A and B are shown apart, each in its own frame.
Chain A
């Protein structure tokens, strides 16, 4: 499957963010959303660009670390799951997918010092909610 990704990128808590567009192709419908992000990141690293930072850990829906806001929904279009359990089969081939941090005071974008001119997404949260 092929997708257009519209990803919010922000160097740090105070920097002004903006959406960047990325194309990604040859993604299996059985690939998870975060695995798709891994593939994007590996590609960005190989091209000498900055990967997208996102929190994640258990990748089985129990630790509560992942926290993406996808197409206007917390954890994306599927129900009763966290982002890490979302699979690409839930999207249409060719779809444009919008990816943002949680826009909530309880989950601030992480503060970092980003020294290069490049933009980088930095969204992470300190203490998360229970599942």
Chain B
């Protein structure tokens, strides 16, 4: 094990670790905070909450985002809700139960201490957000309402219709604006981080490109926080926003930060199916819909034929002709099995020829039972905006006919490796939210991404970063004329000049689409050794092609969206290879990582705890090679078991 891989898990019983740790770490007094600068990159729930909290504490914060406003970050699109263990429904929920559900949902590949802390602070998030005025749904008596999400048998998900992420982000954004108006945070919209600056091995700044003017800028700080989300857009078609990218994370990796579990991706079971090859993104239909929606395909092949030829509508197929396959296969959890399980089950039915649309890649999500029981108005209240969204995109009214859904790339559990303090292997460099690897193992449970982003930003990082910064109070601000800045800026200018100089024949999107196809076919829902090896070869060929033939029009010193894309695609063409290498190395199936060679008789994931109970931590080496180290996962409190959602 690399000596850099010290997870710094505090000693003691699970439920006391965070309390003890908080008491043991150093704090910075108010006068000294004023002398310390922090850079936060990204303004989703993680970045916005962190920047707001650090600003309120009195640090000098610079916050960067690629959009015109921090509130565009893709957390805004999260729909279903956020988990917490208030136990308001009195259904026997507890910190331990959320902790255990998360560990189990992640197929026993996440770190116990981190996950327990996440469950522990979950209730604080709800209190904080209610105080901000986030309009969580309430029941008739005025109490906060809950609904259910996959992988849990209790109702612990707080929500604001199908727009929970938007409302939480507006809350965090309001807090951030307060800190900006106080002068504690300076906001840099339309700025993209292109490199990390290391001085004596410590993170001391970043290089950005002003997306409006093209200017390359230098920013120094005593610590840098990466909150730029995941790299799911490697697949081109995903539920991510078009501008979401992996470049900041990748530049940190190339500067020496280890990458944890790059091959762990989440494929969300309920997305609007692909309609054709002109498509640019896939739209999510929230997991919360599975509270009231039932997933099915017809039992008879002749009904499938008729559906595909549009001779019948789904609503005309009688109850006895429907196979509610999740309820059939997983009686205990039914339609609310975790995402990886639901995705594979949909794929299994479609591969067997039961896909319900022309492409054969869709299943039904049906609300007729719920509408019958509860009335249309209740369904409208719960999911109105999602139903409208579906109708606008597909041109079918889901109150009358079931939705058609199919799995799509949604989230990356992998990310920068961090210790218990959320610090990467580079001192002074922190990673929070989806950008780190730490809490979700092989599969993230629904409504837990919002929880993690806000837990990290509001309640964990503001404490743990103090322990590092307490040692920096004597340190002067880094001069941006330092040779490290000079060198990094020169390298970026050369890279940009090289892209313009190619003057090739294909736009960046062309390569991005091709990369997406390679990834979906070989590094997607189902993986095997031969396919992964082929993916690595194909990616290398495509990368060479890109650097020979991409066409980037225009100039650097202007608003140039093609240049932005080309820089991001260049990084995706490297990240993808590491993802495939990691998936190839892990010869077991766990969570969303399904190796065909490792499955049970009924097609479920088969883990190999003997050989793979570790976090794969990749280190970038010279000549763009990658070396893997292992962080063993020592389960002190949970007994490893085969995931069972059947009984």
**Interfacial residues, chain A to chain B (CB-CB below 8 A):** 27-28, 30-32, 34-36, 38-39, 41-42, 45-46, 48-51, 53, 55-65, 78, 80-81, 85, 87, 89, 110-116, 120, 122, 124-128, 130-131
The contact of A51 among B163, B280, B392, B561, by CB within 8 Å, is B561
**Interfacial residues, chain B to chain A (CB-CB below 8 A):** 67-69, 71-72, 74, 76-77, 163, 166, 170, 189, 212-213, 241-243, 275-276, 278-281, 283-284, 388-389, 392-393, 395, 505-507, 509-510, 551, 553-555, 557-559, 561-562
In the complex, are the beta carbons of B509 and A38 less than 8 A apart? Answer: yes
Assembly CA distance A94 to B166 (angstroms): 38
In the complex, are the beta carbons of B241 and A63 less than 8 A apart? Answer: yes
In the complex, are the beta carbons of B72 and A65 less than 8 A apart? Answer: yes
In the complex, are the beta carbons of A57 and B74 less than 8 A apart? Answer: yes
- Does more than half of chain A's interface fall in helix, strand or loop, or is it mixed? loop
Q: How many A-B residue contacts, CB cutoff 8 Å?
A: 125
Q: How far is the CB of A89 from chain B (nearest CB, A)?
A: 6
In the complex, are the beta carbons of B276 and A31 less than 8 A apart? Answer: yes
**Residues in B neighbouring A58, C-beta threshold 8 A:** 72, 74, 76-77, 241-242
In the complex, are the beta carbons of A46 and B551 less than 8 A apart? Answer: yes
The contact of A53 among B393, B557, B561, by CB within 8 Å, is B561
Assembly CA distance A111 to B69 (angstroms): 17
Residue of B nearest to A26 (CB): B278
**Residues in A neighbouring B558, C-beta threshold 8 A:** 112-115
* Contacts A/B (CB < 8 Å), 13 sampled: A27-B278, A31-B276, A31-B279, A35-B280, A50-B553, A51-B562, A56-B242, A64-B72, A65-B72, A113-B557, A116-B554, A122-B559, A125-B68
Assembly CA distance A95 to B518 (angstroms): 37
Assembly CA distance A50 to B553 (angstroms): 7
The contact of A55 among B68, B213, B506, B507, by CB within 8 Å, is B68
**Residues in A neighbouring B395, C-beta threshold 8 A:** 30, 87, 89
Residue of A nearest to B559 (CB): A112
Contacts A42-B509, A50-B554, A60-B389 given; does A35 touch B72 at CB 8 Å: no
User: Which residue, B76, B505, B510, has most C-beta atoms of chain A within 10 A?
Assistant: B76
In the complex, are the beta carbons of B278 and A39 less than 8 A apart? Answer: yes
Known pairs A31-B276, A127-B68, A131-B166. 9 more at Cβ < 8 A?
A: A27-B278, A30-B275, A31-B275, A34-B280, A35-B279, A35-B280, A38-B509, A60-B283, A112-B558
**Residues in A neighbouring B68, C-beta threshold 8 A:** 55, 65, 124-128
